[in-house]
Structure 1
Amino acid sequence: MTDLPGGDSSGSAYEPEEVVRQDGIGAPDPFMRLWTPHRMAYIAGENKPTTTEAGSGCPFCRIPLLSDVDGLIVQRGDAAYAVLNLYPYNPGHLMVVPYRHIADYTELTPEEVVEVATLTQQAMQAIRIVSAAHGFNIGMNQGDIAGAGIAAHLHQHVVPRWEGDANFMPVIGQTKVLPQLLTDTRALLAKSWPTT
């Protein structure tokens, strides 16, 4: 066995028997915990609309009414906008959202299709400038059954990826570590957004 960082100076190896057992607050195990209570807002559905109707109950209808900073909007187009995901999978995870409250990709007008595609390309370019992403997951979850968190208002995810980003935290700890505040990420991406 190897010594754990921060152990005593005697150099004693970590042994499972040395683990301090929990008392009534969970299954005993040797894992340390990184608590992320801010995620409970997402898990509890705090910002999830209660209806499928357009309007202030839909976050994607409400966000464009806010300032760019308050709404975490990175770029506004004529038919769609790019906004940081409030519950990101990776740093820089954003969404391209049409202003029009529609649920299905087939409902987009030809102009909206072009702008969603253009904003997606620009998002990739800006993220590469800011954080040198090695790749991207890009996609839409269509309908509740497909995993759409807000199925009533179409949105396309742009998730930057880096080699080795699936580290032990999400796999073992079921936690994502984000090294930057969303407002700082928004400012960097907005500053680096391509003009064409």
Structure 2
Amino acid sequence: MTDLPGDNPPGPGESADAGSAAGGSAGAAGGAGSASAGSPYEPEELVQQDGMGVPDPFLRLWTPHRMAYIAGENKPTSTSSGDDCPFCRIPSLPDADGLIVHRGPAAYAVLNLYPYNPGHLMIVPYRHVADYTDLTPEEVSDVATLTRQAMQAVRIASAAHGFNIGMNQGEIAGAGIAAHLHQHVVPRWGGDTNFMPVVAQTKVLPQLLTDTRALLTKSWPTP
């Protein structure tokens, strides 16, 4: 992990100019803001970046992939069906490319591209429909069946302690893609809400989506 410096108050007897002139090693050498000697979180070398002041001891966890979500990548520009809707387009892709875990007769299970937790699935009807009350009896049945199977698969694969399951109906309710109905299945574990999402609005995910998909596909129960 690369550490980029930021401003840090000089330690006792140390001027900011002296720390800047001496480079990264002098800036890390001891000041009130330096990491404790022998700390497992202490970077081996604090790199001085021109114009950024005295290096500090903090490690940075960069998550640039989140900017795609913030900037609205893959979000439809219209409410119509077709290739502009990701949930309409995904079933036309190979399962591995679309991150599809399982296909049912009227709906499919797919990994969330921006997961809240590892194994975050969505159950999506093939038909481009916005409201749960507009689903056919067959679609309702398939969404329910895939939801149950998704829970079973995640419990087999990763022993989830619980789940958050639900739909956001309409943009006002928080639906990112309101025009195409989708139900979230979010696995939960004790302690999975820690300081990272609470303080830093950052989620640390231990596994690539392609590996998660392979694991869940293998664990999907046989009907």
Determine which structure has greater relative contact order: mean sequence separation of CA pairs < 8 Å that are 6+ residues apart, divided by chain length.
Answer: 1
C-alpha displacement of 1:108: 0.4
1:141 aligned residue (154, 168, 178): 168
Counterpart contact for 1:33–1:173, Cα < 8 Å:
no
Partner of 1:20: none
Q: Secondary structure at the match of 2:129?
A: coil
Q: Distance in 1 between matches of 2:78 and 2:58?
A: 40
Q: Percent identity?
A: 80
Q: What are the residue-to-residue correspondences of 1:175-190 with 2, within 5 Å?
A: 175-190=202-217
Partner of 1:81: 108
C-alpha displacement of 1:167: 1.0
Partner of 1:174: 201
Give ranges in structure 1 of 5+ residues lacking alignment. Answer: 12-22
Counterpart contact for 1:136–1:158, Cα < 8 Å:
yes
Q: CA-to-partner distance for each residue in 1:23-56, whole Å, 9 max, x for gaps?
A: 789xxx9965322111111110011000000000
The number of equivalent residue pairs is 179
Q: Distance in 1 between matches of 2:148 and 2:93?
A: 24
- Report the aligned-residue RMSD: 2.3
- In 2 relative to 1, CA 31–103 (structure 1 residues): closer, same or farther, beyond 3 Å? farther
TM-score, length of structure 1 as denominator length: 0.86
The higher radius of gyration belongs to: 2
Partner of 1:50: 77
Partner of 2:135: 108
2:64 aligned residue (37, 45, 62): 37
Q: Secondary structure at the match of 1:37?
A: coil
Partner of 1:19: none
Q: CA-to-partner distance for each residue in 1:121-159, whole Å, 9 max, x for gaps?
A: 000000000000000000000000000000000000000
Q: Secondary structure at the match of 1:184?
A: helix
C-alpha displacement of 1:190: 0.4
- In 2 relative to 1, CA 195–32 (structure 1 residues): closer, same or farther, beyond 3 Å? same
2:124 aligned residue (97, 105, 114): 97
Partner of 1:16: none
Give ranges in structure 2 of 5+ residues lacking alignment. Answer: 1-32, 40-50
Q: Distance in 1 between matches of 2:60 and 2:71?
A: 20
Q: Distance in 1 between matches of 2:103 and 2:110?
A: 9
Partner of 1:7: 36
Q: What stretches of structure 1 move > 3 A for 4+ residues in a row?
A: 29-33
Q: CA-to-partner distance for each residue in 1:84-128, whole Å, 9 max, x for gaps?
A: 000000000010000000000001000100000000000000000
Counterpart contact for 1:142–1:151, Cα < 8 Å:
yes
Deviates more, 1:89-98 or 1:35-44: 35-44
Partner of 1:126: 153
Please tell me the residue identity of whatever aligns with 2:62. W
Please tell me the residue identity of whatever aligns with 2:214. A
- In 2 relative to 1, CA 170–31 (structure 1 residues): closer, same or farther, beyond 3 Å? farther
Please tell me the residue identity of whatever aligns with 2:36. G
Partner of 2:19: none
Counterpart contact for 1:73–1:83, Cα < 8 Å:
yes
TM-score, length of structure 2 as denominator length: 0.76
